[in-house]
Chains A and B, each alone.
Chain A
Amino acid sequence: MKIKTLFITNKIKRLALAAFAVLSLSSNVHAQEGDPAIGEKLFNGKCASCHNPFRDVTGPALKGARERWIEKSTEENFYAWIKNSAKVIASGDPYAKEMSAFDASVMTPQTVSDKQIDDIFAYIEAAEEPKAGGDEVGTTSVVVEEEGSSTLYWWLFAGLLVVVIAVVGGVKGNLAALSREQDGQEPLPQQSVGRSARTWAWNNRGWFGVTVFVSVILLLAFGMVKWLDLGVYEDYKPEQPIAYSHELHAGELGIDCKYCHNAVTKSKHATIPSVNVCMNCHKTVVDGRSDEGTEEIAKIHKAAGYDPDTRTYTGETEPIQWVKVHNLPDHVYFNHSQHVVAGGIDCKQCHGNMKKQTVAKVMSTEDLNNVGVTDEDYDENKIKFTKPTLTMGWCIECHRESTVDIAGAPEGSYYNVIHERLLLDKRTYQEYLEDDVVTVGELGGLECAKCHY
């Protein structure tokens, strides 16, 4: 809640700043002299790494900076500051002193002429703030799917129906008894529920038998299907503490998978990035593409102990409890680095096209086979699967088909040793002569103890 209010004050501050810039534009003579087109290039090359026209980054927002200098100091000092800020601070200018307290880092002296400064500020004053709203192309808003509650309604509905039928049945029975009594007939003999049910079933034995038969068959078939699903985790896509979007980060922004999951080349785990990796960008990127996005980014700041208003870390960190998605049983050993580094396998072979996903998901066999077929983000996968993902059959399928490039292995590596050994193993050598390739399976990739120990 506190962070939310901070954002609002931040927004108001920016609005006020923008309004001030617009108001003061009319009095700005120099800005019209510069060439915004040249200024844009200069700005991107020299200033953009620390300054933004509209908001404080490492340096303060630059829109209206000239006016602020004229107001609180002199225009000469404005030019002098850009060329060498330390000199202006040393001269004892009060506004320079105020500005030097903005950030711990000192502004690097810039080798620019007065004309170039005019160009740069012509660009800055002419620039329009990009909208924070979601009207741009390819905006990815993260939608949290709501399922599960609908099944509850189905059960309630079914229960209600049973109750209604029972009540109607009961009322009907009472009415029938009443009418018999009125007609002066003997009331039907009282029966226990079980006995009456049996009588009723016997009376309607024709269709009752058929229904029971069909139900039993259905139940068996259903049980069989569920039995095959045991230990299959396809399409598992749990809600995460932060609604991260792979589609935006890996897809649109083009960040490599291994930038965040960097331990994938070094360890058993691909690792979920620690929050400092998020902060490499989100220290500066405070606004999301939508309001929801901004809220999600605020969660990162909270976890990292970062105050976006003062742009400093407080040190009060919090854990982010990500939900692990790809779970293997304890009796299976899997190592990412072995597959990625030694095997040279692309992430997409097992994880599919994450550029089209929000949070992590266990891909289905179909998803993996469709990579590069239904989309153009990647090339097609080398190995096509038939078994459900994350099952043993699936692993084995790939171990059987994947070939090992023994000829291209570096000299003195383990593969050369294995190559020598192949010549001694008649059966494998025969297999090699038949198809001219050595598969992972032939190198022992199907041995139980490779993964189960």
Chain B
Amino acid sequence: MKLKAFKILTVTAFIATGTLVSCVADSNAPGLEYMPDMYRSPAVEAYVDYGEVEGRYDSAAHNLVANKFSYLPPVGTVPYAEGDNYIAPYNHGGPIGVDKSHGLFEVKQDSLGLENSKADINPIAYTDEVAKEGKVLYERFCIHCHGEKGDGAGSVIENSNGKFPRPGAYKKEMTAGEMYYIITYGRNAMGSHASQVNPVERWKIVHYIEKLAGKDKKVTEENTVAESIVDSVMVEEVEAMVDTLTNTAH
């Protein structure tokens, strides 16, 4: 009898351990939910869709989201305006073959795009605040390749064992318009950063790059927008468009 008792005890112990072990964290399982119907959104949320519509699993709804995962943002989804700064649509087309070389398939191509862009003037006035913001943006989006001083000695270049080509130092001769063009469409090994920085941010970054390239930058106090690029007609058009939109909404 004593032996039998021992056996039963072992079994209990094993089952208990089994239960305990089975509940040890599995890194692939998120954990237990308390009332999933309150946790899970019936509407589609970014990156997550449970395919549940009122308690029923809907594979069509699920696939609709799954098939659009991690895609390029559609052209035109980056806003043209930020705060009070209106930026007119950028009319210089990308370089010829930019679809094949940089994957920009919906972008119009123009062999003279780069040449024409060189005359563009930075519409954002260079103020103290813009200088500061430009530095923050540069340190976020450019510094790891172009380096702190803009000489091309970024941490990616220095630590990647020659896998990524070293960008050249910023040149003083390059115009602001050309810099903006390159950020927008990319050039050679550099990809297009248009999906990451909006037009206003791009112009602010251009200010900072010009400073790194060794250009004389004078801080202006007033926050004026250069007339040459922001077409006043365009601004009126945009405003009219916003008006009609709000009117129809009411």
Contacts and interface: CB of A to CB of B under 8 A. Distances in A.
B70 A284 contact: no
B248 interface: no
Contact of A284 (B16, B67, B164): B164
A46 interface: yes
A226 B32 contact: yes
Interface in A235-267: 235-239, 252-256, 258-259, 262
Contacts of A169: 4
A104 B99 contact: no
A215 to B, nearest CB: 6
B11 A161 contact: yes
Interface stretch (B155-163, B210-218, B219-227): B155-163
A391 to B, nearest CB: 11
Interface stretch (A300-308, A375-383, A433-441): A300-308
Contacts of A49: 152, 165-168, 188-189
Determine chain A's interface SS by DSSP, over half rule: loop
Interface in A304-325: 304-306, 311-313, 315, 317, 319-322, 324
Contacts of B101: 103-105, 311-313
B164 to A, nearest CB: 6
A252 B68 CA distance: 31
B84 interface: no
Contact of B164 (A130, A233, A285): A285
B155 A253 contact: yes
Contacts of A208: 5
A231 interface: yes
Nearest to B14: A158
B156 A254 contact: yes
A151 B66 contact: no
Contacts of B1: 203-204
Contact of A262 (B46, B167, B196): B196
Contacts of B89: none
Contact of B48 (A232, A239, A281, A324): A324
Bin the interface of chain A by size. Answer: 35 or more
A276 B103 contact: yes
Interface stretch (A115-123, A326-334, A401-409): A326-334
Given A255-B144, A259-B144, A327-B48, A313 B162 contact: no
A155 interface: yes
Contacts of A324: 47-48
Determine chain B's interface SS by DSSP, over half rule: loop
A52 B67 CA distance: 37
A236 B47 contact: no
Bin the interface of chain B by size. Answer: 35 or more
A319 B188 contact: no
B31 interface: yes
A235 B25 CA distance: 8
B31 A232 contact: yes
Nearest to B105: A315
B8 interface: yes
Contacts of B196: 259, 262, 277
A259 B193 CA distance: 10
Contacts of B68: 319
B165 A51 contact: yes
Contacts of B39: 327, 329-331
Nearest to B38: A331
A238 B27 contact: yes
Interface in B117-151: 139-141, 143-144
B18 to A, nearest CB: 5
Nearest to B9: A211
A336 B30 CA distance: 21
Interface in B9-25: 9-12, 14-25
A130 B163 CA distance: 9
B22 A154 contact: yes
A258 B140 contact: yes
A57 to B, nearest CB: 5
B191 interface: yes
Nearest to B161: A130
15 contacts: A44-B166, A49-B188, A51-B165, A161-B11, A161-B14, A204-B1, A211-B9, A233-B31, A254-B144, A254-B159, A274-B71, A274-B195, A303-B70, A330-B45, A331-B39
Given A48-B165, A145-B27, A327-B30, 17 more contacts: A48-B167, A104-B100, A151-B24, A169-B4, A204-B4, A204-B5, A230-B31, A235-B25, A236-B27, A259-B140, A262-B141, A272-B70, A275-B70, A276-B191, A280-B193, A305-B103, A319-B71
Interface of A: 44-46, 48-52, 57-58, 103-105, 130, 136, 145, 147-148, 150-151, 154-155, 157-158, 161-162, 165, 169, 203-204, 207-208, 211, 215, 218, 222, 226, 229-239, 252-256, 258-259, 262, 269, 271-277, 279-281, 283-285, 287, 303-306, 311-313, 315, 317, 319-322, 324, 327, 329-331, 361
| Leading 7 A-B pairs by shortest Cβ distance | A254-B155, A280-B191, A48-B166, A319-B69, A104-B97, A58-B188, A330-B41
